[in-house]
Amino acid sequence: MFYSLFDPYYWILIVPSLLLAVLAQMMVSTNFKKYSAVYNQRGYTGADAARMILDSNGLYHVRIERVHGNLTDHYDPKDEVIRLSDSVYGSASVAAVGVAAHEAGHAVQHATGYVPIRIRSAIIPITQIGSQLSIPLILLGFLFQFQPLVFAGILFYATAALFQLVTLPVEFNASSRAMKVLEQSEMLTGDELTGAARVLRAAAMTYVAALLTALAQLLRLILIFGGRRRDD
């Protein structure tokens, strides 16, 4: 922790990416709050929108559940259920419909075998292991001057960046699917579509920020430990 204060790579690489992540999260909160106060003319709720998109793609078996919290919306492919937060499930706001349509887009991705989401699902176990082992392996390798262990740790950490990289097309595609069906079905029209698009674009920026943060940390580890020996 204290080392970071004197680490130039931390200030050059990590701090800017963290600031971008904070800015992206602020954009999400601001846009969601703004368009949560704008209601669609047809009166569709988030749950209605998700159900219509699922049914139009033959996904009648996919359930929709309400969960507590704010922006805790997600699709669970294991249980084949879309879970919508309190602020989305029963709300007829433009923001709620946009978010629900996005989650329905993920369900359609899984059903159609969308390649990036299959890749992301496949590397999740590796990413989980890598996130737990990467730093300990790097530190042990540096401590015992065993460079292969350091490289193994950096490689494990790289899986986190790979996960974020694969996540980008998954999220952008889900939003694209959502906006397309909202327009074609006329669930939202005109300014309503613009509002939903702004909410989803803001959300997408959080994934861009997460990727940049992961890449920045990976580069920092390489610069600090890659090729470095204990007696340097």
Map out the domains of the chain as residue ranges.
2-225
Torsion of CA 144, 215, 176, 128, to 10 degrees: 10
> Is residue 134 scored above 80 in pLDDT?
yes
Has residue 23 got a pLDDT over 80?
yes
Name the pLDDT band for 225 (thresholds 50, 70, 90).
Answer: confident
CA 211-216-153 angle, to 5 degrees, is 95
Q: Distance between CA 23 and CA 30 in Å, rounded?
A: 10
Lowest average pLDDT, out of 32-36, 130-134, 154-158, 187-191, goes to 130-134
Contacts of 119 (CB under 8 A, 6+ apart): 166
**Cβ-based neighbour number of residue 132 at 10 Å:** 11
Give catalytic residues, as residue numbers: 103
CA proximity to 55, closest of 95, 99, 111: 111
How confident is the model at residue 227, as a pLDDT? 56
Whether the predicted pLDDT of 91 surpasses 60: yes
Cα–Cα distance list, 220 to 9, 158, 225 (Å): 6, 12, 8
pLDDT class of 131 with cuts at 50, 70, 90: confident
